[in-house]
Structure formats: C-alpha cells, structure tokens
Amino acid sequence: MTVKIFDTPEVQDFLQAVSGFDQDGGSERAKQILHRLVGDLFKLIDDFDVTPEEFWSAVSVLNALGQGTQFGLLAPGLGFDHYLDMRMDAADAEAGRTGGTPRTIEGPLYVAGAPEIQGSGRMDDGTDTDGEAMWLTGQVRDTDGNPIAGAKVEVWHADSKGGYSFFDPSQSEYNLRRSIITDADGRYAVRSIIPSGYGCPPDSPTQQVLDLLGRHGQRPAHIHYFISAPGHQHLTTQINLAGDPYTFDDFAFATRDELVVAGQRIEDAAAIEASGFEGPFTQVVFDVELSATDTPELQVRHKRPRAKEDERDRASQLAGTATV
Ligand SMILES: [Fe+2]
C-alpha cells in the first residue's frame, strides 16, 4: 500500500482541528508546536508507509518509557541534550559571551540539596571499598585568570558499580553528592572514589530503541558539575575520565575534548601520608573558568524537573529523572 494523503485539503483541515486552531482556549504556542509536531508525524507515516502494527508498537515503547521514567535517559541518547547545548553555545557566541570552560549535558540524575562543605571535605561514605580512592581538586577562575572565592561547585557522580545515590536506594543519602564553596584562592578539593561508567539497563525501553539503531547505551566514567558565582554565567558541565573504553564513544554525546581529564595515580608513601589517604589514590584536577555576565537569569541554572528541587511537585521530578 503506497498512498499519499498528507497534502490533501481534507488532511490539512483535519490537522488544524487536531491542533485546536478553531478553538479560543488553550495556548497559541502549544497549538503551533503541536501542529508542526503532529503534522510532521502524519507526513512521516505517509512517506514511510508506516503500518498500524508499527505505529502501535511505537506507542507501546512510549508507554514503557513513561512507566520507567526513562524519557530523561532516552533524550540524551537521541542527542536532544547535546542539541540544546549546541543551541546555547551558538546563542553565547552570537551575544559575544566567549571564553570559559565549555558546558555539557546535565543528565537526569542530579538531586538538589546535597550537603555543603567549605573548601574541602569528603563526598563518599566510606562503604564502597571497590572504588579507587580519588582526590578531586581544582580552581575556579574568571576568564582573566583571577580566582573566584566563594564560588559554588556542585559535584555528583556514580559509585564503583555505576549507581547514583537516591536513584540507587542501596546507597546512603547524598552519597557522592556535595556542594563545595571555593576557598579564598578559588580552590575546591574533595576526597571521593573514582566512579565507574554505566550503561542503560539491557532490558529497558531506552536500550530497546538504541538496539533498533544498532547503538550501545554505555557512558564512560564521568563526574558532573554545576558551578556558579555572582556576576558569572552558571556552568553545567561534566568531565569524562581518560582511558575509559567509552571516553570518546559516549551514548549520551557529552564528551568534549576540553573536558577529558586524565587522573594521576599517587603511589609515593610520603605523598599518601601528607594527603591523609590510607594507600595509593588517583588525583583528578579540573580547573574551571567562568564567563562574566550581568544578566541574572544566566547566573542560575535553567529550570527543569529535578529530584528534590521542589518537594511539592514530586511526580514532575520523577518524570524528569530516570531509573537507571
Ligand atoms: Fe552521570
């Protein structure tokens, strides 16, 4: 069956009615966007001669994604998060906001309200003995190289099995999540463990979609950051650790060359003792440069559903996060 009906007046009128163009209520922007979205899908069905079986199996995948709160996981896998970053990069360039450490995707696993520490402290609860000890440190500077004291450095990462506290109920509350305030020299330093990379659950609807594309669902070991300071542009970024098989093959497209960091293994006994570790550890250094801005909305992270960000809207938080 190869029929083409999309361009007929009957279908075009139908699309207008579907989009509520003949109704006074609702949102004009929603009507315009739905008109484009549904129209593009109608045309796709025509062009690819999509069968009813194919259409309803797609609906079934969407239902499974929703049930598993996995849209926040599929979105980076299909490049939407990186595409939004590319648009924000382009907007910055157009406005002349150049310089500074590059942004990259937030992902769906941030949890608001992590304990705050001044300058330096510890992020792990000491129970993950499979994880290599890590000393994570760096300096926050402006684009002229001046240290920024009092900057807020929010860090979150996975454990040695690739799981995140809150989403992995076996971990203690806020394990591997901290909000660090930089010291007088703009420095932050925390003891933690080297995170493992992780993958989409093999039997998940997200992986089912990736399988259809012949793609894996793996991420390299990485560490997430939000960095902010008054008078500077808020930065959402993450570092990918060098040497992971997926460092340059991240299913979520978060890798940027400037954000690949090689850890340095410290085995010297005197250095171990001086830093307070019990044995060899890996030092990871990530310095950050923030661009200056006077615009208040650029100094804070953009809104989206995030776990514990708004306790009154729990359903929305979970919808925007993912069970992995
Ligand atoms: Fe992550």
**β-bridge pairing 120-122 and 133-142:** unpaired
Kindly give the confidence (pLDDT) of every residue in the chain, 324 residues in length, as a single tens digit, with 9 standing for 90 and above: 689 999 999 999 999 999 999 999 999 999 999 999 999 999 999 999 999 999 999 999 999 999 998 999 999 999 999 999 999 999 999 999 889 999 999 998 999 999 999 999 999 999 999 999 999 999 999 999 999 999 999 999 999 999 999 989 999 999 999 999 999 999 999 999 999 999 999 999 999 999 999 999 999 999 999 999 999 999 999 999 999 999 999 999 999 999 999 999 999 999 899 888 999 999 999 999 999 999 999 999 988 888 888 764 455 455 555 544
Q: What is the per-residue pLDDT for 323?
A: 45
Separation of 39 CA from ligand 1 center, angstroms? Answer: 35
Separation of 2 CA from ligand 1 center, angstroms? Answer: 44
- The answer to whether residues 150 and 246 belong to one domain is yes
- Within a domain: residue 235? yes
Q: What is the per-residue pLDDT for 71?
A: 92
- The answer to whether residues 151 and 271 belong to one domain is yes
Instruction: Give the number of domains in the chain.
Output: 2
Separation of 68 CA from ligand 1 center, angstroms? Answer: 17
Q: What is the DSSP code string of 157-214?
A: E--TTS--BTTBTTSPTTTTEEEEE--TTSEEEEEEEPPP-EE--TTSHHHHHHHHTT
Separation of 146 CA from ligand 1 center, angstroms? Answer: 30
The alpha carbon of residue 323 and the mean position of all alpha carbons in its chain are separated, in whole angstroms, by 14
Q: What is the per-residue pLDDT for 324?
A: 42
Judge contact between 308 and 320, C-beta under 8 A: no
- The answer to whether residues 286 and 170 belong to one domain is yes
Separation of 46 CA from ligand 1 center, angstroms? Answer: 38
Q: What is the per-residue pLDDT for 98?
A: 87
Tens digit of each residue's pLDDT (9 = 90 or more) over 65-119: 999 989 999 999 999 999 999 999 999 999 998 899 999 999 989 999 999 999 9
- The answer to whether residues 172 and 293 belong to one domain is yes
- Within a domain: residue 65? no
Give the SS3 label for residue 43.
helix
Residues facing 261 on adjacent strands: 241
Tokens of 289: 């440069």
User: What's 225's domain CATH number?
Assistant: 2.60.130.10
Separation of 261 CA from ligand 1 center, angstroms? Answer: 15
Separation of 157 CA from ligand 1 center, angstroms? Answer: 6
The alpha carbon of residue 226 and the mean position of all alpha carbons in its chain are separated, in whole angstroms, by 10
Separation of 182 CA from ligand 1 center, angstroms? Answer: 23
Judge contact between 81 and 252, C-beta under 8 A: yes
- The answer to whether residues 142 and 14 belong to one domain is no
Q: What is the per-residue pLDDT for 292?
A: 93
Quote the domain boundaries for residue 212: 71-320
- Within a domain: residue 59? no
- The answer to whether residues 144 and 188 belong to one domain is yes
- Within a domain: residue 58? no
What's the pTM? Answer: 0.92
- Within a domain: residue 62? no
Separation of 200 CA from ligand 1 center, angstroms? Answer: 11
